[in-house]
């Protein structure tokens, strides 16, 4: 389907929604997902004069039998999925098609084009020549929804979402115009802007407890200006997260040092391992150190997180190999990576890590 045809189908889908429809919005539990969920849900409320009926995120991200049960229990007739790739289980989508029409807005890579009689799959790669990863659904949903309703006042919602998916550099003019419109400073970096503050509030709330993304959705939905969110009770989660990170930074003397390989074990109250490892490696150890954090938050797996700020050794390969050797998984970027390992394999993992690292240094 070409772009024009797809967009016309999108317009028709949105304009066909009535008050009698039971509409569910399923969003990815991150800033881009919350943003695009709010944009789509608000556009629908404005179009049909009634809020959507059900809003949720879920883990795992694909459509499960429980998802289908929930949709049926709520008599859903229109199921909208934003910023979530569901093409891995196309047979589950077929099951939903028996009782509901589906709209998917996404930019993740996919194998199956889900477009059918009942499903409209609007993917970034069909709308824009940009790499899909650079076209966050926060921006995609804003661009398509504004075709059917005036949503000029939701530009800031799009902005904090696209900043969350590292999209500022590709949408600088849009974000800067919007910052100006609300009287905020242009900072030339997404995260340090006023909208970046909202992105961080959402990210912290998710770290605190994934289910708090629903509260983020509600707070942002109810807000009329970005300031309403910046000054909202969501700040308490960020304060808790920051306090926890500070606590563990003070424990850094407990880290094991093997030359320039630093391994630290933590058991924090919240899922702080990723931002914690970043701060630890950027501000407390030399950029020429490889910093690995093993985090236990009570689950059956441990989270592993690694940074090598000067890029001399590929921490994604290091974590991938070491985790794989104990039945875990790992990956990411050369300077920043993560993964999981079974809790009982911690000692073996550390041994593998040290040995692999020695090998990398000799190579």
Instruction: Supply the minimum distance, in Å, between the C-beta of residue 140 and Mn ion.
Output: 9
The backbone torsions φ and ψ at residue 219, rounded to the nearest 5 degrees and listed phi first, read -60, -45
Q: What are phi and psi of 350, to 5 degrees?
A: -60, -40
Cβ of residue 108: shortest distance to Mn ion, in angstroms? 7
Shortest separation between residue 31's beta carbon and Mn ion, angstroms: 8
Would you say 336 or 354 has its CB closer to Mn ion?
336
**282, 173, 41, 191 alpha-carbon torsion, rounded to 10°:** 10
- For Mn ion, give the closer residue by CB, 165 or 176: 165
CA distances from 101 to 13, 73, 355 (A): 9, 16, 53
Q: Could you tell me the smallest distance in angstroms from the CB atom of residue 319 to Mn ion? A: 23
Contact 135, 107 (CB under 8 A): yes
Nearer to Mn ion, 37 or 268 (CB): 37
Instruction: Give the residues lining the site for Mn ion (CB under 5 A).
Output: 32, 83, 136, 165
Query: Helical H runs in 234-283?
Result: 235-250, 273-279
Spatial neighbors of 27 by CB under 8 A, at least 6 apart, are 33, 34, 36, 37, 55, 56, 57, 81, 82, 83, 84, 213, 217
Q: Which is nearer to Mn ion, 155 or 165 (CB)?
A: 165
SS3 340: strand
Closest approach of Mn ion to the CB of residue 84, in Å: 9
Report which residue's Cβ sits closest to Mn ion.
Answer: 32
Residue 161 or 339 with smaller CB distance to Mn ion:
161
Residues 6+ away with beta carbon under 8 Å from 36: 27, 82, 83, 105, 136, 137, 138, 140, 141, 161
Minimal distance in Å, beta carbon 100 to Mn ion?
23
* Placement of tokens 């904090």 in the chain: 160
Shortest separation between residue 30's beta carbon and Mn ion, angstroms: 7
Task: Please say which residue, 136 or 332, places its beta carbon nearer to Mn ion.
Answer: 136
> Phi/psi at 206 (nearest 5 deg)?
-65, -40
Residue number with CB closer to Mn ion (214 or 249) = 214
What's the token pair of residue 142?
Answer: 């804003």
Separation of alpha carbons 347 and 75, rounded Å: 50
């Amino acid at each position: 389907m070409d772009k024009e045809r797809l967009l016309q189908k999108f317009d028709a889908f949105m304009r066909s929604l009535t008050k009698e429809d039971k509409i569910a919005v399923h969003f990815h539990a991150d800033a881009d997902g919350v943003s695009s969920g709010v944009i789509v849900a608000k556009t629908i409320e404005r179009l049909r004069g009634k809020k959507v009926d059900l809003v949720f995120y879920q883990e795992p991200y694909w459509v499960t039998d429980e998802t289908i049960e929930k949709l049926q229990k709520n008599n859903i007739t229109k199921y909208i999925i934003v910023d979530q790739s569901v093409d891995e289980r196309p047979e589950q989508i077929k099951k939903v098609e028996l009782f509901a029409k589906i709209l998917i807005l996404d930019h993740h890579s996919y194998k199956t084009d889900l477009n059918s009689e009942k499903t409209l799959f609007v993917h970034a790669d069909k709308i824009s020549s940009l790499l899909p990863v650079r076209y966050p659904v926060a921006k995609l949903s804003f661009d398509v929804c504004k075709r059917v309703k005036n949503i000029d006042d939701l530009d800031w919602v799009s902005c904090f979402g696209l900043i969350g998916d590292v999209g500022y550099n590709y949408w600088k003019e849009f974000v800067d115009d919007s910052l100006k419109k609300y009287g905020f400073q242009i900072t030339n970096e997404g995260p340090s802007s006023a909208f970046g503050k909202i992105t961080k509030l959402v990210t912290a709330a998710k770290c605190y407890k994934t289910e708090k993304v629903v509260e983020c959705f509600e707070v942002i939905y109810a807000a009329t200006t970005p300031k309403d969110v910046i000054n909202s009770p969501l700040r308490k989660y960020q304060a808790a997260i920051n306090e926890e990170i500070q606590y563990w930074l003070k424990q850094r003397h407990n880290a094991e040092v093997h030359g320039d390989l630093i391994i630290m074990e933590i058991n924090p109250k919240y899922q702080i391992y990723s931002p914690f490892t970043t701060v630890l490696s950027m501000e407390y150890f030399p950029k020429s150190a490889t910093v690995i954090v093993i985090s236990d938050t009570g689950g059956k797996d441990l989270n592993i997180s690694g940074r090598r700020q000067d890029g001399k050794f590929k921490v994604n390969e290091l974590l991938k190999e070491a985790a794989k050797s104990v039945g875990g998984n790992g990956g990411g970027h050369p300077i920043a990576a993560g993964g999981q390992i079974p809790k009982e394999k911690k000692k073996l993992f550390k041994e593998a890590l040290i040995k692999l690292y020695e090998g990398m240094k000799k190579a």
